[in-house]
């Protein structure tokens, strides 16, 4: 395996942090990052031992800082440089207060600790599979790297209960039947807000109520139509049944959602917006593995088969 340290950029913190830690450690400067070797404050001292200790700290500080600055891209360099608006003495002019502060800033910037990011990292870990002709050791290193990234996204206050809740939310969403309605539900939950066990349960309850209501309305409508058909026999439909001048369907033009989108119910607007986000997400991301939960390629339709953005029944 190559010992080359990759340049730190968005998305590769773990690939960068492991080898850079090795480089700093081999230089005898990792204690700078951990904070166990701090500035002794002996600048200007005439004592030989104090001068030696001060110099040792400055060498270690410079080695660690140099290793970091040599392996970050322009955006991360600016992040470090921006930490110190004033010139800093002892040879680090214009850079930053301490190497430890730089390391902590980079770790924080590249390891966001929120539930949505954790859900995405759960997905990344679960979809990590062996590539064709990839060695077992290389495959397992990628798994460990994905696991480390997930671990770093967890706040220090995370409890076992928090982890179980996160796993429950993840596996619940991953286990949804991959039909059109569930793909939209998956997108609404994962794109629109915080992902945890409570929010998933609430979203499920709300969606199930909507589905039950839609089913009941559909059954009631079918029964009413059957009753009208039975009472009228084979009588032809009235010749004056309205036809929309905009889409040529059987409803009044004033009730057409295509011509009057402001009349569309909010739940239908939300559903259409979810479809749009799914399409954008599919275009913006590479083809996922079989293990990942992805949006279906076709657009969902209404419960009764008509277009979402279409019209209201007269």
Give per-residue pLDDT as tens, 56-69. Answer: 999 999 999 899 98
pLDDT value at residue 98: 76
Confidence of residue 86 (pLDDT cuts 50, 70, 90): very low
Q: What is the DSSP string of 250-268?
A: SS-GGGBTTT-GGGS-HHH
pLDDT value at residue 59: 93
Q: What is the C-alpha separation between 132 and 124, in angstroms, rounded? A: 18
Q: Chain-centre distance of CA 86, in angstroms?
A: 36
Using the predicted structure, report yes or no on whether residue 308 has a pLDDT greater than 50. Answer: no
Q: What is the DSSP string of 89-146?
A: STT-TTT-S-HHHHHHHHHHHHS--SHHHHHHHHHHHHT--PPTT--HHHHHHHHHHH
Average pLDDT, the chain: 77
Q: What is the C-alpha separation between 236 and 221, in angstroms, rounded? A: 19
Using the predicted structure, report yes or no on whether residue 89 has a pLDDT greater than 70. Answer: no
Q: Which of 16-20, 51-55, 197-201, 252-256 has the highest mean pLDDT?
A: 51-55
pLDDT value at residue 135: 92
Using the predicted structure, report yes or no on whether residue 24 has a pLDDT greater than 60. Answer: yes
Q: What is the C-alpha separation between 139 and 116, in angstroms, rounded? A: 26
- Weakest mean pLDDT among 8-12, 247-251, 283-287: 283-287
pLDDT value at residue 257: 77
Using the predicted structure, report yes or no on whether residue 286 has a pLDDT greater than 80. Answer: no
Evaluate whether 216 touches 279 at the Cβ level (below 8 Å): no
Instruction: Record the pTM.
Output: 0.40
Measure Cα distances from 9 to 71, 77, 107, 147 in Å.
9, 10, 12, 19
Evaluate whether 52 touches 58 at the Cβ level (below 8 Å): no
- Model pLDDT for residues 163-208, shown as the tens digit of each residue: 888 888 888 988 888 888 888 888 888 775 678 888 899 989 998 9
């Amino acid at each position: 395996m190559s010992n080359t340290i990759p340049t730190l950029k968005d998305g590769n913190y773990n690939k960068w942090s492991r080898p850079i830690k090795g480089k700093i450690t081999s230089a005898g400067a990792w204690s700078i990052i951990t904070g166990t070797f701090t500035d002794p404050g002996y600048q200007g001292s005439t004592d030989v031992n104090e001068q030696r200790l001060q110099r040792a700290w400055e060498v270690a500080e410079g080695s660690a800082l140099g290793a970091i600055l040599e392996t970050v891209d322009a955006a991360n360099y600016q992040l470090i440089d921006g930490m110190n608006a004033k010139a800093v003495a002892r040879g680090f002019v214009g850079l930053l207060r301490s190497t430890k502060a730089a390391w902590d800033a980079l770790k924080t910037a590249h390891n966001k600790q929120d539930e949505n990011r954790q859900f995405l990292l759960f997905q990344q870990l679960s979809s990590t599979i062996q590539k064709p002709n990839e060695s077992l050791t290389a495959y397992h290193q990628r798994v460990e790297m994905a696991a480390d990234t997930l671990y770093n996204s967890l706040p220090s206050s995370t409890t076992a209960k928090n982890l179980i809740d996160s796993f429950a939310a993840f596996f619940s969403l991953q286990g949804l039947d991959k039909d059109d309605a569930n793909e939209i539900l998956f997108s609404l939950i994962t794109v629109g807000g915080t992902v945890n066990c409570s929010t998933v349960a609430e979203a499920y309850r709300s969606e199930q109520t909507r589905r039950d209501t839609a089913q009941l309305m559909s059954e009631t409508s079918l029964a009413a139509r059957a009753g009208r058909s039975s009472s009228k026999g084979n009588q032809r439909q009235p010749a004056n049944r309205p036809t929309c001048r905009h889409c040529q369907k059987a409803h009044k033009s004033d009730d057409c959602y295509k011509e009057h989108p402001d009349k569309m119910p909010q739940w239908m607007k939300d559903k259409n917006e979810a479809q749009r986000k799914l399409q954008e997400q599919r275009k913006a991301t590479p083809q996922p593995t079989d293990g990942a939960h992805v949006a279906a390629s076709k657009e969902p339709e209404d419960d009764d088969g008509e277009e979402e953005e279409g019209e209201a029944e007269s």
